[in-house]
């Protein structure tokens, strides 16, 4: 079954007025200057256009918008914090944008059930803080947490730095409230840990990038707040040594190992050179580093991380290390990690890949991918970093020094082909946590099981037969 893309919409002033009336004139954006922040994403890779941005303030208003869109066959693009990296939130063909940012209420916090119900427009950092205020932890954490929203996190099944211990966004959801294309509302905001009453429809919408329905609220899992947290920066010689240290850390720390990030020396160079007040955590230069964190419900995190690093040095795996002495130093370590991506921009073009391979295959993948990209473009600078603990590597490649950026970026698909061939060889995924959007849409049929892809198309047709929800994304 093929997904038929609707023609570019021609929206009359009368129809635009009908949509605007649903949310009120104050929350219907038509001025090009005011609409601009909704039409381009942070990297500037995608630029959209739209005659109307709607900012509903309730699930009922989202439902009314979808009912009118179905009646008039008007295409819609749901959007959260607009921090996506694959163009999934961009109105490429003049669709009406539905911004969920005004759906920003935290409806309930239940510490006995360890559950929190929030609306889709709640900023991730605000959800984290609300859990902290209740002496709990909401562990989803990523670089854009100060601006990304829960709805966007769930629609892209975001991962982040704590996925090693707590899983990705999908693993942190108990229930959803979703508006379907025809305006019906699926009321599924349950805090039950066990519910075997038929199909688990919740998982259909998580990671669907707004193509099956618009998430308006979610019931999220909370966890006991750690009583001790320790963070360390360790120098190692190779990704193989990083894997050995990871295995060692898991054995010693058990479930208290919450983050394990692999960082190359080139990332330190770029962040110190271009980052805001960034200093190298260790003296000297080393090929690779690990940023690791222990979070324990007891007061033993310091003993645990010291035991790990001590054994690592004794076994010749760790060449140097520093444990954060205070909260400021811990924040500095994580700040360095957060600015790795933006620090690449002053170095020119960067072709980015968000891939995953089995954890054990990471060293082979890195070696083979480095050889492939430098053969394709001599002088290209591989820049691989990320979540080693779950095999999710952000394999970016910066342009050769002195190269023309436009010419380099024109090789984006050629670079994708060689990198994704290595990913496929190791049984990996071309999208670990950023989604498909439009950036990887045309590649999906080459890597997805054809039966699975056919089922996806059938589900899309069932839930959105007119293809008005985020058309042209994913499928």
Query: 8 falls in which pLDDT band (50, 70, 90)?
Result: low
Same structural domain for residues 188 and 121?
A: yes
User: Does 206 have pLDDT greater than 70?
Assistant: yes
Query: How far, in Å, CA of 272 to CA of 448, rounded?
Result: 39
Query: Per-residue confidence at 255, pLDDT binned at 50, 70, 90?
Result: confident
**Rounded-to-integer distance, Cα 473 and Cα 464, Å:** 13
Name the region of 150 (left: φ>0; alpha: ψ -120 to 50; beta: rest): alpha
- Find all residues with CB under 8 Å of 135, minimum gap 6, and list them: 111, 225
Phi and psi at 321, nearest 5°, equal -165, 155
Q: Are residues 285 and 323 in the same domain?
A: yes
Pull the structure tokens for residue 187.
Answer: 């009321």
Q: What is the pLDDT of residues 410-426, one digit of tens each?
A: 999 999 999 999 999 99
Q: Which of 186, 205, 224 is where one domain is finished?
A: 224
> What pLDDT score was predicted for residue 45?
80
**Structure-model confidence comparison of residues 192 and 288, the more confident one:** 288
pLDDT at 277: 86
Q: Tens digits of per-residue pLDDT, 347-394?
A: 999 999 999 999 999 999 999 999 999 999 999 999 999 999 999 999
Say yes or no to pLDDT of 44 above 80.
no
> Distance between the two ends of the chain, CA-based, in angstroms?
11
Tell whether 62 and 79 lie within a shared domain: yes
**Position 432 in a domain:** no
Whether 384 is in a domain gets the answer yes
- Specify if 26 maps to a domain: yes
468 falls within a domain: no
Q: What is the pLDDT of residue 465?
A: 97
Domain identity same for 321 and 356: no
pTM above 0.75, yes or no: yes
The number of residues in the chain equals 475
CATH of the domain at 286: 3.30.70.2190
In a domain, 460, yes or no: no
- 195 CB-side CA count, 13 A: 12
DSSP code at position 340: T
pLDDT, mean of residues 328-333: 96
**What total of structural domains would you count in the chain?**
4
Q: How confident is the model at residue 2 (pLDDT cuts 50, 70, 90)?
A: low
Q: What is the pLDDT of residue 417?
A: 95
Predicted confidence (pLDDT) at residue 4 exceeds the cutoff of 60: no
Specify whether 335 is located in the same domain as 373.
no
Comparing C-alpha atoms, which of 466, 445, 442 is closest to residue 454?
445
For 270, what's the count of Cα atoms within 13 Å in the CB-facing half-sphere?
26
Looking at 111-187, list the stretches that DSSP marks H as alpha helix, in order from N- to C-terminal side: 124-133, 150-155, 163-166
Both 337 and 246 in one domain: the answer is: yes
Q: Establish how many alpha carbons lie within 13 A of residue 428's alpha carbon, considering only the half-sphere containing its beta carbon.
A: 32
Where does residue 84 rank: exposed (0-12), middle (13-18), buried (19+ CB within 10 A)? buried
What CATH number has the domain bearing residue 406?
A: 3.30.70.2740
Range of the domain at 237: 228-344
Residue 30: Cβ within 10 Å count: 13
Does one domain contain both 61 and 136? no
For residue 461, being part of any structural domain is answered with: no
Say yes or no: 214 and 127 in one domain.
Answer: yes
**Per-residue model confidence (pLDDT) at position 1:** 46
**Residue entry with tokens 């919740």:** 202
- Where is the domain boundary, 207, 224, 241? 224
| Cβ-based neighbours of 11, under 8 Å, separated by 6 or more | 51, 52, 74, 96
> What percent of the chain shows pLDDT beyond 70?
98
Mean pLDDT, rounded, for 254-281: 94
Contact 106, 129 (CB under 8 A): no
Answer yes or no: is 472 within a domain: no
What's the gap between Cα 72 and its chain centre?
A: 33
Shared domain check, 97 and 42: yes
Bridge partners, residue 290, by sequence: 234, 262
Quick one: pLDDT at residue 41? 85
Tell me which residue of 53, 60, 97, 90 sits closest to 75, measured CA to CA.
97
Burial of 376 (0-12, 13-18, 19+ CB in 10 A): middle
Helix, strand, or coil (residue 398): strand
Mean pLDDT of the chain: 95
243 vs 46, residue with greater confidence: 243
* Strand-pair partners of 396: 383
| 427: its two tokens | 């049984």
Q: Give the residue-averaged pLDDT of 153-175.
A: 95
Q: Classify residue 292: in a domain, yes or no.
A: yes
Q: Does 199 lie in the same domain as 111?
A: yes
Q: How many CB atoms lie within 10 A of CB 321?
A: 22
Same domain, 120 and 202: yes
CATH at 126: 3.30.465.10
Cα–Cα distance measured from residue 330 to residue 334, given in angstroms and rounded to the nearest whole number: 7
Q: What CATH number corresponds to the domain at position 79?
A: 3.30.43.10
97 and 183 together in one domain: no
pLDDT classification of 208: cutoffs 50, 70, 90: very high
> Which of the listed residues 224, 248, 283 is the one where a domain comes to its end?
224
């Amino acid at each position: 079954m093929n997904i038929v893309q609707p023609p570019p919409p021609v929206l009359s002033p009368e129809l635009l007025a009908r949509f605007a009336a649903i949310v009120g004139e104050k929350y219907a954006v038509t001025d090009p200057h005011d609409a601009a922040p909704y039409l381009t994403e942070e990297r500037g890779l995608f630029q959209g256009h739209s005659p109307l941005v709607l900012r509903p303030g309730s699930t009922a208003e989202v439902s009314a918008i979808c009912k009118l869109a179905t009646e008039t066959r008007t295409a819609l693009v749901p959007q959260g914090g607009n921090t996506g990296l694959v163009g999934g939130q961009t109105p490429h063909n003049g669709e009406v944008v539905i911004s969920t940012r005004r759906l920003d209420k935290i409806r309930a916090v239940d510490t006995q059930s360890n559950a929190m119900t929030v609306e889709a427009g709640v900023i991730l950092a605000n959800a984290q803080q609300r859990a902290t205020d209740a002496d709990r932890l909401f562990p989803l954490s990523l670089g854009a947490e100060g601006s990304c929203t829960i709805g966007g996190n769930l629609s892209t099944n975001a991962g982040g730095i704590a996925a090693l211990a707590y899983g990705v966004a999908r693993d942190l959801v108990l229930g959803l409230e979703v508006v379907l294309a025809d305006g019906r509302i699926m009321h599924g905001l349950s805090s039950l840990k066990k519910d075997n009453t038929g199909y688990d429809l919740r998982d259909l919408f998580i990671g669907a990038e707004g193509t099956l329905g618009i998430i308006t609220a979610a019931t999220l899992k909370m966890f006991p707040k750690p009583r001790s947290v320790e963070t360390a920066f360790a120098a190692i010689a190779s990704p193989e040594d990083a894997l050995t240290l990871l295995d060692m850390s898991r054995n010693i720390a058990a479930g208290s190992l919450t983050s394990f990030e692999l960082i190359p020396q080139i990332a330190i160079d770029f962040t110190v050179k271009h980052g805001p007040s960034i200093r190298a955590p260790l003296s000297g230069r080393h090929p690779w580093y690990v940023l690791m964190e222990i979070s324990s419900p007891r007061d033993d995190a310091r003993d645990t991380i010291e035991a790990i690093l001590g054994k690592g040095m004794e076994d010749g795996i760790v060449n140097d290390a520093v444990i954060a002495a205070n909260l400021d130093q811990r924040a500095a370590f994580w700040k360095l990690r957060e600015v790795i991506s933006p620090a690449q921009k002053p170095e020119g073009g960067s072709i980015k890949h968000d891939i995953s391979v089995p954890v054990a295959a990471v060293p082979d993948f890195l070696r083979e991918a480095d050889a492939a990209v430098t053969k394709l473009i001599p002088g290209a600078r591989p820049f691989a970093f990320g979540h080693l603990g779950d095999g999710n590597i952000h394999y970016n490649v910066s342009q050769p020094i002195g190269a023309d950026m436009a010419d380099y970026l024109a090789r984006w698909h050629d670079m994708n082909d060689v990198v994704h061939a290595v990913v496929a060889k190791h049984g990996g995924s071309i999208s670990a946590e950023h989604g498909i959007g439009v950036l990887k849409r045309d590649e999906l049929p080459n890597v997805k099981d054809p039966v699975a892809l056919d089922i996806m198309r059938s589900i899309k047709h069932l839930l959105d037969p007119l293809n008005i929800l985020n058309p042209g994304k994913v499928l």
